[in-house]
């Protein structure tokens, strides 16, 4: 037991188990946890001896900041890249950008992070190697995390745009004499964004708790790093609380994605037609 000294007697261990309720049946333990969880009580960390929710909420802004910056970078670069590749299909630009996307998908996060540190911190001295608090400290972690997302989104955008550009309503818009920019931006891209929003929403949910490697490489104080430390120290209440909080965030992000669908395609409705 982590809450007792190594030389604790068996009687002391049993007394602590009784105090914590570990001797109760599993369904009783589950009901007790669930009833406390709905009130915001997710238990106390065995190592830090403070409420687990406090530790998670302390680290959560760092994870949201890193995930948001990586997602913003990926979307801002990938959408124009995918659109141009689809419009100029088969050109040198298309081939080069898709090869670059394949290269981005192939690079491991930790290797890219180390290479960025060696280039921009060690060699050039432009950016700090680690930590959080300034914009300069955010650049390399978000770039390392967002590059593979950018490659994924660029390939997806290109694929969906190629399908949309072959639809009848796009040909009709062109036959009406609309400028190509309006056809691409207003008619084609808006419909092509629905699959991209779906994938981006799922990836953002994964990023919140899945940035462990990047947070470790750049000493970023996020939830992912906190969970790994809790696992190594067998701080089970903290791990359990973190998983629950991340699951709630994932569900909330996907709910937001469903609401964005209504804006992208007004024909989508979640209300039954009577």
Q: Give the pLDDT confidence of 17-45 residue by residue, as tens digits.
A: 777 777 788 888 888 888 888 888 888 88
Burial degree of 198 (CB within 10 A; 0-12, 13-18, 19+) = middle
130-139 — which CB contacts under 8 Å span 24+ positions?
130/218, 130/219, 130/220, 131/218, 131/219, 131/220, 132/62, 132/65, 132/220, 132/221, 137/218, 138/65, 138/66, 138/69
The whole-chain average pLDDT of the chain stands at 82
Distance CA 274, CA 272 (A): 6
Collect all residues with Cβ–Cβ distance below 8 Å to 154 and sequence separation of at least 6: 77, 78, 79, 81, 82, 85, 97, 98, 101
Confidence of residue 274 (pLDDT cuts 50, 70, 90): very low
Residue 21 lies in a domain: no
Overall size of the chain counted in residues: 274
The closest alpha carbon to 72, from 213, 267, 207, belongs to: 207
- CATH number of the domain enclosing 250: 1.10.3720.10
Distance CA 150, CA 269 (A): 30
Q: Give the pLDDT confidence of 155-188 residue by residue, as tens digits.
A: 888 888 888 888 777 778 778 777 777 778 777 7
Q: Give the pLDDT confidence of 103-151 residue by residue, as tens digits.
A: 888 888 888 888 999 999 888 888 888 888 888 889 999 988 888 888 8
Residue 30 lies in a domain: no
Residue 272 lies in a domain: no
Provide the 3-class DSSP secondary structure of residue 219. Answer: coil
Average of per-residue pLDDT across 196-219: 81
pLDDT at position 214 over 80: yes
Average of per-residue pLDDT across 79-93: 86
pLDDT at position 269 over 70: no
pLDDT of residue 266: 61
Residue 78 lies in a domain: yes
Residue 3 lies in a domain: no
How many CB atoms lie under 10 A from the CB of residue 174? 15
DSSP annotation string for 136-154: HHHHHHHHHHHHHHHHHHH
pLDDT at position 270 over 80: no
Residue 11 lies in a domain: no
User: Structurally, how many domains does the chain consist of?
Assistant: 1
Q: Which two tokens stand for residue 137?
A: 């400290």
Average of per-residue pLDDT across 83-87: 86
Residue 37 lies in a domain: no
Distance CA 69, CA 140 (A): 10
The closest alpha carbon to 146, from 82, 200, 222, 189, belongs to: 200
How many CB atoms lie under 10 A from the CB of residue 188? 24
Q: Which domain holds residue 152?
A: 42-263
Q: Give the pLDDT confidence of 52-83 residue by residue, as tens digits.
A: 899 999 998 998 899 899 999 999 988 888 88
Residue 124 lies in a domain: yes
Question: CA angle, 85 as apex, 196 and 146 as ends, to 5°?
Answer: 50
């Amino acid at each position: 037991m982590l809450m007792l000294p190594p030389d604790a007697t068996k009687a002391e261990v049993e007394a602590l188990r009784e105090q914590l309720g570990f001797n109760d049946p599993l369904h009783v333990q589950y009901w007790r946890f669930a009833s406390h969880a709905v009130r915001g009580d997710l238990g106390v960390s065995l190592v830090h001896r403070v409420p687990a929710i406090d530790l998670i909420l302390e680290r959560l802004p760092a994870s949201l900041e890193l995930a948001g910056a990586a997602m913003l970078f990926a979307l801002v670069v990938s959408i124009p890249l995918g659109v141009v590749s689809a419009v100029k299909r088969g050109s040198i630009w298309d081939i080069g950008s898709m090869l670059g996307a394949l290269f981005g998908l192939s690079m491991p996060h930790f290797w890219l992070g180390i290479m960025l540190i060696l280039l921009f911190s060690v060699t050039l001295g432009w950016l700090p190697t680690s930590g959080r608090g300034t914009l300069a400290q955010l650049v390399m972690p978000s770039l390392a995390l967002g590059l593979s997302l950018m490659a994924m989104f660029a390939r997806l955008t290109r694929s969906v745009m190629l399908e949309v550009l072959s639809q009848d309503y796009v040909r009709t818009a062109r036959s009406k004499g609309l400028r190509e920019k309006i056809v691409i931006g207003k008619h084609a891209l808006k419909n092509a964004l629905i699959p991209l929003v779906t994938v981006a929403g799922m990836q953002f949910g994964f990023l919140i708790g899945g940035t462990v490697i990047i947070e470790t490489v750049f000493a970023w104080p996020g939830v992912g790093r906190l969970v790994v430390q809790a696992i190594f120290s067998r701080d089970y209440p903290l791990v359990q609380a973190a998983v629950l909080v991340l699951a709630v965030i994932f569900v909330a992000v996907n709910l937001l994605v469903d609401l964005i669908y209504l804006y992208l395609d007004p024909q989508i409705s979640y209300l039954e037609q009577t």
